[in-house]
Amino acid sequence: MKKTVLITGGTSGFGESCARIFAQNGWKIIVTGRRLERLESLAKELRQTTPVHTICQDVRDRSSVAESVSNLPNDFAGIDVLINNAGLALGLEPAHQTDLDEWETMVDTNINGMLYFTRLILPRMVEKNNGHIINIGSVAGNWPYPGGNVYGATKAFVKQFSHNLRADLLGHNIRATNIEPGIAETEFSIIRFKGDKEQAKKVYEGTQPLTADDIAEIIYWVATLPPHININSMEIMPTCQSWSPFAIHRVQIDE
Ligand code: NDP
Ligand code: 8X3
């Protein structure tokens, strides 16, 4: 029997690549996103190989998420894997110069969106004693960097929530994984810099960043390991990325 994966934010980047790789491997696909045209064109492509159900919605809209989960067509209702991927970073300003609305948007999308889908789908997984929640965290949830402020904090939430899920779900045969990518070239930076493609391009200049397909392949591998194996978290960087020494502010001392 075909398995079913629900991927939030399937209109671009990691989510879109995940939809393709799971479809190529015969899974039934549920994809969400706000951009209807993109959802329709992806669905048209994937339907050549597998059944696809699309949900055009904002993950921040709790009642819409509840309605779409309770109205899933019968063929798609038994979700085996939920990939909480929809998310974004806005801005790279220091905390005291940021826009509070942008902080709220990141919290609502990266945290609340994930919570809504997880809470609504988990009881079905518990009932059938099977399932896998894969959350998309980030290196930004593990390591602070200037301008990472709320974005990194939302991803730290995602990480701890993923691990706490494991604690609650012990004995229910449900896996939970936090995927923590480093620099990856998707539309992420274009969104972070409010559509400024030149500024976004500079993030990747002179590097070989991760690609959406790299991450999707890792997610697919994690989801298809033998059922007794749970990857708790996986941090992935491109080879060209590493850590820096601690920053130290020094003042001139007059002798
Ligand atoms: P993209 O911008 O390419 O894709 C983001 C996806 O999220 C889109 O499909 C977008 O769909 C969806 N999305 C954003 N906001 C909402 C919303 N309110 N409601 C529904 N869908 C939404 O970025 P990535 O693929 O890179 O990002 C995917 C995830 O990976 C994010 O959680 C991001 O934080 C994380 N990540 C990214 C890294 C990177 O360097 N690229 C590294 C580490 C983690 P639409 O606009 O159509 O709604
Ligand atoms: C995205 C990676 O380093 O831009 O989560 O925060 S980073």
61 lines ligand 1 (CB under 6 A): no
183 lines ligand 2 (CB under 6 A): yes
Measured CA to CA in angstroms, residue 181 lies from 65, 218, 236, 247 at distances of: 26, 10, 5, 23
Task: Give the C-alpha separation, 61 to 22, whole Å.
Answer: 26
CA of residue 119 to ligand 2 center, whole Å: 26
User: Each residue of 125-146: pLDDT tens digit?
Assistant: 999 999 999 999 999 999 999 9
Largest Cα–Cα separation, the chain: 78
The pLDDT assigned to 254 comes to 87
Q: Tell me the pLDDT of the chain averaged across its residues.
A: 98
Q: Give me the active site residues, please.
A: 151
User: Each residue of 77-86: pLDDT tens digit?
Assistant: 999 999 999 9
CA of residue 103 to ligand 2 center, whole Å: 15
Q: Any idea which ligand is nearest the CA of 146?
A: 2
In sequence order, what DSSP letters do the residues of 75-136 get, joined into one string? GG-S-SEEEE----------GGGS-HHHHHHHIIIIIIIHHHHHHHHHHHHHHHT-EEEEEE
139 lines ligand 2 (CB under 6 A): yes
Strand partners, 174: 131
**Percent of the residues in the chain that have a pLDDT greater than 70, as a whole number:** 100
The pLDDT assigned to 150 comes to 98
Confidence of residue 255 (pLDDT cuts 50, 70, 90): confident
Task: Look at residue 177 and tell me whether its pLDDT is greater than 90.
Answer: yes
Domains of the chain with bracketed CATH: 4-236 (3.40.50.720)
Closest atom, ligand 1, to C-alpha of 88? 34
* Gyration radius (Cα) of the chain, Å: 19
138 lines ligand 1 (CB under 6 A): yes
203 lines ligand 1 (CB under 6 A): no
Q: Any idea which ligand is nearest the CA of 148?
A: 2
The pLDDT assigned to 133 comes to 98
User: Each residue of 68-78: pLDDT tens digit?
Assistant: 999 999 999 99
User: Each residue of 9-53: pLDDT tens digit?
Assistant: 999 999 999 999 999 999 999 999 999 999 999 999 999 999 999
Which residues have CB under 8 Å from 203's CB, separation 6+?
A: 183, 185, 189
Task: Give the C-alpha separation, 106 to 147, whole Å.
Answer: 13
Strand partners, 56: 33
CB 31 within 8 A of CB 52: yes
CA of residue 237 to ligand 1 center, whole Å: 18
The pLDDT assigned to 200 comes to 98
Task: Give the C-alpha separation, 139 to 155, whole Å.
Answer: 8
In the chain, the N- to C-terminal Cα span, in Å, equals 78
CA of residue 133 to ligand 1 center, whole Å: 17
Q: Taking Cα atoms as reference points, which of 59, 68, 30 lies closest to residue 46?
A: 30
The pLDDT assigned to 152 comes to 98
Q: Any idea which ligand is nearest the CA of 65?
A: 1
Q: Taking Cα atoms as reference points, which of 80, 76, 85 lies closest to residue 43?
A: 76
Task: Give the C-alpha separation, 217 to 21, whole Å.
Answer: 7
